[in-house]
Amino acid sequence: MIMTTLVKKDFLTISKSKSVLLELLFMPFILIMILGFSLGNVMFGDFIIDTFHVGIIKEENLQNDLKEFERDLRKEKYSEPEMKEYLSMAESIDPLKKLVEVLEDESLKDILLVDEYRDVKSAKAAMKRDKIAGYLAFPDHSRVNLWETMLLKQESPAVLDVVVEKEGAVSAKILQSVVSSFISEYNLESSITLATNGQAGREENLTGSGKVN
């Protein structure tokens, strides 16, 4: 009996104190609302990513690299028809061109959009202005090195620069993941094509042979 009186007294005291009631009612309500609105999409699996832009250095760059490759071929004293063949092959195996095709694919159009830039400087400036989340570029000679490795069997390493604004950001992770899958596939298919002189057919529909439980 005394216990119920005590309970009743405590309830009455609380109901008289406006501040406690306010805290009890509003604090969780406001915090849950903010939490729900800001993190709701992450927590409840309905994660929508805002479409972001990715910069690619323009075609002119490819033409310059092709000219450089031509100069190298001339230096190595290749005949005119051979040179022509190599140059057309070089253009057809340009990884950046293929990468752009992958990035512009229908399946990625809701996630990322490709913007073209004249040079690295303008892409950098666009990234600083938050217009693009990152850009892809071959550093000087890198593309020529790649052609020389693949076509002329020389050993010169090629590097593709993936420059992102903020490492660890969602957009950076997506871009890195798409590019790394593409490059790994490109390296694999190129290795096979070169080792088999192009006799092995490209496997278009590669599916993983595993499952996730």
Partner 1 sequence: MLGFLTLAIIFVFILGNIQANPEISVPVYSEHLSASELNQWMDVLNEDGTVEFHAIDPEIAVKKLRMNEESIALHVEENHYELLAGHETEQLPAVEQHVSQVFRKESRLKKIRNEFPKRNIKFKEFIKIRTTSSSESSGNMNHYQVFVLIGMTLYFTMYTVLHLQNNLIEEKISGTWNRLIFSPVTKTQVYLGHLAFYFLVGVIQIVLSFLILKNLLHIDLGTNYPAMTGVALSFLFSIVSLGILLIGIVPSPSILSVVVPIVSTGMAMLGGAFWEIDVVSNRFILFLSKLTPMRHGVDGMLEAVNNNTPITELIQPIGILMLMGVVFMGIGINLMERPAKNTL
Choices 44-52, 63-71, 78-86, 109-117 (CB under 8 A): range interacting with partner 1: 44-52
Residues 2-31 touching partner 1, rule: CB under 8 A, are: 17-20, 22-23, 26-27, 30-31
Residue 158 engages partner 1 in binding (rule: CB under 8 A): yes
| The one among 6, 12, 49, 125 contacting partner 1 by CB under 8 A | 49
Whole-angstrom distance, CA of residue 194 vs CA of residue 202? 12
Please state whether beta strands 112-117 and 52-57 pair in parallel, antiparallel, or not at all (unpaired): parallel
140: left (phi over 0), alpha (psi -120 to 50) or beta: beta
* 40 binds partner 1, rule: CB under 8 A: yes
Q: Does 180 bind partner 1 (CB under 8 A)?
A: yes
Q: Binding of partner 1 at residue 168 (CB under 8 A)?
A: yes
Applying CB under 8 A, does 154 fall inside the site for partner 1? Answer: no
Task: State which residue, 92 or 209, has the beta carbon closest to partner 1.
Answer: 209
Does 169 bind partner 1 (CB under 8 A)? Our answer is yes
CB 112 within 8 A of CB 174: yes
Say if CB 75 and CB 83 are below 8 A apart.
Answer: no
Site for partner 1 in 65-84 (CB under 8 A): none
Question: ∠ CA 45-50-56 to the nearest 5 degrees?
Answer: 130
Q: Considering the complex, state which of residue 13 and residue 191 has its C-beta at the smaller distance from partner 1.
A: 191
Under the binding rule (CB under 8 A), the answer on residue 122 touching partner 1 is no
Collapsing DSSP to helix, strand or coil, 116 comes out as strand
Query: Distance between CA atoms of 111 and 83, rounded to whole angstroms?
Result: 40
> What is the H or E stretch that residue 13 is in?
helix 2-16
Radius of gyration of the chain (CA): 29
Binding residues for partner 1, rule: CB under 8 A, are 17-20, 22-23, 26-27, 30-31, 34-35, 37-42, 48-50, 95, 124, 127-128, 146, 149-150, 157-170, 172, 176-177, 179-181, 183-184, 186-188, 190-192, 194-196, 199-200, 203, 206, 208-213
